[in-house]
Structures are given as structure tokens and as C-alpha cells.
Amino acid sequence: MKITTHQYAYGPHPSQTVRMILPGGAHIPVAVVIHGGYWRAAYGAELAEPLGRDLTRFGVGAAVIEYRRMGEGGGWPTTLADVARAVDSLAVQGQYVADGTLLLDRVAAVGHSAGGQLAAWLAHRGSLRAGTAGSVGPGESHVPVVGAVTQAGLLDLVGAATERLGDGAVVALMEGEPRSLPQRYHHASPLASVGDGARVVCVHGAADDTVPLSQSERYVEAARMAGDPSKLIVLPGVGHFELIDPSDPAWEVCRDQLLRMV
């Protein structure tokens, strides 16, 4: 199978880019692959690109997205707006580099750690309050995602801020504590959007000491109680980074769940 790679910009900042990794074929579903790193500029899309390349073996196009992170102009609400804009760019720039072969009704997201927050947030995007970052107003065109797979995702931002995960990364991202900025946290935290029918599968290692399993547990419990088709897969003995190693069985679990969505 011939694999081709194309990179394009969806904005003027150097980090507003999408790397499209495409298999051959005329009808290509798409996985939006979002890297983690606690939304900090020290970590980039190089963490996600190996996963994107692996997905092409299964006939899926990978949109490995980069976005502005803290330390380079990211944070609230820039990071969220960038991720939404990157996905919407698939309809024009993405289709252009793919010669119109992308199936935009079969787009799903996968994200690791902070990227898991962004992937789940995309799955809930349709229920965001109008006029807020990433929301879709009446008559506005956008590319919806049919579901998301989170890999040790940060899904409860209020809890993550309270627990000071990532040495206070959530508070830095949101530019304040939850008690001071409740509307921001409500907008950005996937846990706050359950009940809208979003399809989210949470894969989490039981031995993860970077993002606690409770992040996925709280989200899935709330989503199920609200009637959403959410699922939790706990991997015994697995830590944080096995999930983004293409040679590790933990990634195979994530990949299989994603392939079921597209």
C-alpha cells in the first residue's frame, strides 16, 4: 500500500498545522490524532505521528493535528479553538490534499492524556453553548466527529485542577481555579457535557501514575448515568505511555476501538 504524507496550515501560527497521512484508496475514513503533554509547548505532534502511520495500515487516513499550546500563545480559549478549526479544515484543505477521497461522515478522534481531553471535547462539540470556543452556530459548516477514543484522558478538569495534576497544568490552561472560572471549566471539561449522546471509549492503564484511572472512571460513570454510549476499558499493569507505543498491545486496544467507530 502506498502511503503519502501532506502537511498544510489551517492558520498563520507555525503550530496551526495538520499532517495528513493517507493510505491508497478512493473512500477513506479519518482518524484525528491528538497528542498530549499537558497542553505545554514542550510536547508536540511527533508523539502522535507514529500512531497515525500505524492507522493507515488499516485503510484509515490520519489527521495528526498540531495546535497552539501553553508557552507559545495557547491556553484558554486558543487551544480549544485551534483543535476545532483543525478538524473543520478537513472539509477544504484536507480534501484538497486527499483529492476528495476523505469520508467526512466517518471522522473519529483519538487522543492521549491532554489530547484525550481534546478528543472527548470534540465528541461533545455539538452541545457547546453558541458563541463559545469551538461551538457551531446555526447554519455554520463544520466537520463532526462520530466518536472519540481517549487514552488516559483528562476528562474531569475540575477534579484534575483540584488534584494539581501535571503540576498545576489545568489551572494554567484555564488561567484560574475552578471556583473562580466555573463557566470556563464547564465549557472545556468533557465531564460537564455528558448526556448529549456522545460516543466516547476511555482506555486507561491501571498502573498509570501520570493521569489517575479515576479520571476515566468518573467520566464513564457520569456518561452512562446520563444515557451516553460510553465505555471504560482498564488495562491491568499498564502505565501512561504504553498507550502511544505502536508496538505495544495497549495501543492495539485503542486502535481496535477507533476502527470500530469509523
Total number of residues shown for the chain? 262
The pLDDT of 250-259, averaged and rounded, is 98
Q: Mind listing the pLDDT tens digit for each residue in 53-103?
A: 999 999 999 999 999 999 999 999 999 999 999 999 999 999 999 999 999
Residue with more model confidence, 1 or 73? 73
CA 23 to chain centre: 21
43 falls in which pLDDT band (50, 70, 90)?
Answer: very high
Q: Mind listing the pLDDT tens digit for each residue in 185-229?
A: 999 999 999 999 999 999 999 999 999 999 999 999 999 999 999
pLDDT at 90 (0 to 100): 98
pLDDT at 220 (0 to 100): 98
pLDDT at 81 (0 to 100): 97
pLDDT at 130 (0 to 100): 84
Residue 138 has pLDDT above 80, yes or no: no
Q: Which of 102-116, 122-136, 175-189 has the lowest mean pLDDT?
A: 122-136
Cβ-based neighbour number of residue 227 at 10 Å: 11
- pTM comes to 0.97
Residue 137 has pLDDT above 80, yes or no: no
Residues 42-51 as b/e (b if ≥16 CB within 10 A, e otherwise) read ebebebbbbb
Amino acid occupying residue 261: M
pLDDT at 202 (0 to 100): 99
% of the chain at pLDDT higher than 90: 93
* DSSP secondary structure code for residue 40 in this structure: B
140 falls in which pLDDT band (50, 70, 90)?
Answer: confident
HSE of 107, CA atoms in CB hemisphere, 13 A = 25
Strand ranges for 70-125 from DSSP E:
102-112
pLDDT at 55 (0 to 100): 98
Cβ-based neighbour number of residue 137 at 10 Å: 8
pLDDT at 246 (0 to 100): 98
Which residue's C-alpha cell is 477514543? Answer: 149
pLDDT at 186 (0 to 100): 96
Please tell us whether the domain made up of 4-261 is placed in CATH 3.30.1490.100: no
Q: Mind listing the pLDDT tens digit for each residue in 9-25?
A: 999 999 999 999 999 89
CA dihedral 231, 242, 62, 58 (to 10 degrees): -80
pLDDT at 141 (0 to 100): 81
The distance in angstroms from the start CA to the end CA of the chain is 20
pLDDT at 47 (0 to 100): 97
41 falls in which pLDDT band (50, 70, 90)?
Answer: very high
